[in-house]
Amino acid sequence: MKSSLPTSVKIAKILTIAGSDSGGGAGLQADLKVITALGGYGMSVVTAITAQNTLGVSCIQDVNLDVIEAQIDAIFLDIGVDIVKIGMLASPEIVRTVASALKRHGAKRIVLDPVLRATSGASLGGDDTAQAMMTYLFPMASLITPNLDEASLLLGREITTVADFALAAQELLDMGPQAVLIKGGHLDATHTQLTDFLMWRTLEDNLEIVQSKEFKHYRVNTVNTHGTGCSLSSAVATYLADGHDLAHSVAKAIAYVEAGLEAGRFLSIGEGPGPLWHMHAFYPTALPEEEGKY
């Protein structure tokens, strides 16, 4: 009997190029959780191995450049990629290797989360790495998603208030990416309402037009915020790969992360700040101990 099943089913294919988080809350582990939760097919290129838990990063081992390049080649030559999400690239050499390989394979859509410092304060890059990103990856990026600390490092000055966002986004946009999302989660704790600021370029009648949009949302009262930056950029990438436009993808990604933070408020994972709950759409939300804590 002839099968009535389709011979193939298209699914959005998202490649994350990032460091491994042994604690599972951030890095490529978080990326793959987000991509799967949002209905995409996740693939990974490991750029660094970290010994990491909720208390911080204790050790980082960069992956050999040839191995990074071989991972990228293996994925592009067989499976194919709809969009690339880039996270931790711990050295200028890794930045150059990734940029060269992606250019060689003609990668068209790239979401770059310029991860340079862990929430715990551990350095995951540095000034030389930041400069390499600006030189080699910013001109290739469809979107970059710095938080306030990363935007400050990239621009060489402190970005501390919402009033700084528009100028900072314009200056980052002038460095080459097609769009910039400045994340406001690192605003001081007196801000109960957070602002993320998106600026992007479009072409209309062969004229470049710069547009911007603010996304306001409330601060979830939780210490479990590990991996929020990785998760947000991966969610944006997955929604873009699924056909949503940029502003809609950002809005949906913010809503996904906010729901994950709310669901993970009472999760007990480790002794430090735990992760958001990536699978909130499929499994019960976390509850306080007296109601059945995880």
Q: How is residue 76 written in tokens?
A: 């592009």
Beta-carbon count within 10 A of 56 CB: 15
Asked if residue 237 lies in contact with residue 14, where contact means CB atoms within 8 angstroms, the answer is yes
Torsion, Cα 187 143 141 280, to 10 degrees, reads: 90
Asked if residue 94 lies in contact with residue 29, where contact means CB atoms within 8 angstroms, the answer is no
> Alpha-carbon torsion 261, 265, 269, 272, what sign?
positive
At position 271, the amino acid (one-letter code) is E
Q: How is residue 70 written in tokens?
A: 């071989």
Q: How far apart are CA 64 and CA 46, in angstroms?
A: 10
Sequence-ordered alpha helix ranges (H) in the chain: 27-37, 65-78, 92-104, 127-132, 148-155, 165-173, 228-241, 246-263
Q: How far lies 127's CA from each of 37, 47, 92, 131, 132, in Å?
A: 34, 18, 9, 6, 9
* Residue linked to tokens 């298209």: 10
Q: How far apart are CA 114 and CA 148, in angstroms?
A: 11
Which of 119, 228, 238, 274 is an active site residue? 228
Is residue 19 annotated as part of the catalytic site, yes or no?
no
Q: How is residue 127 written in tokens?
A: 């000034």
Which of 227, 260, 264, 274 is an active site residue? 227
Is residue 230 annotated as part of the catalytic site, yes or no?
yes
Is residue 183 annotated as part of the catalytic site, yes or no?
yes
Which of 25, 40, 229, 264 is an active site residue? 229
Is residue 16 annotated as part of the catalytic site, yes or no?
no
Which of 19, 47, 129, 230 is an active site residue? 230
Nearest C-alpha neighbor of 23 from the set 47, 57, 46: 57
Which of 225, 238, 260, 274 is an active site residue? 225
Q: Tell me the chain's radius of gyration from C-alpha atoms.
A: 19
Is residue 285 annotated as part of the catalytic site, yes or no?
no
Is residue 229 annotated as part of the catalytic site, yes or no?
yes
Which of 54, 183, 238, 264 is an active site residue? 183
Q: List active site positions.
A: 183, 225, 227-230
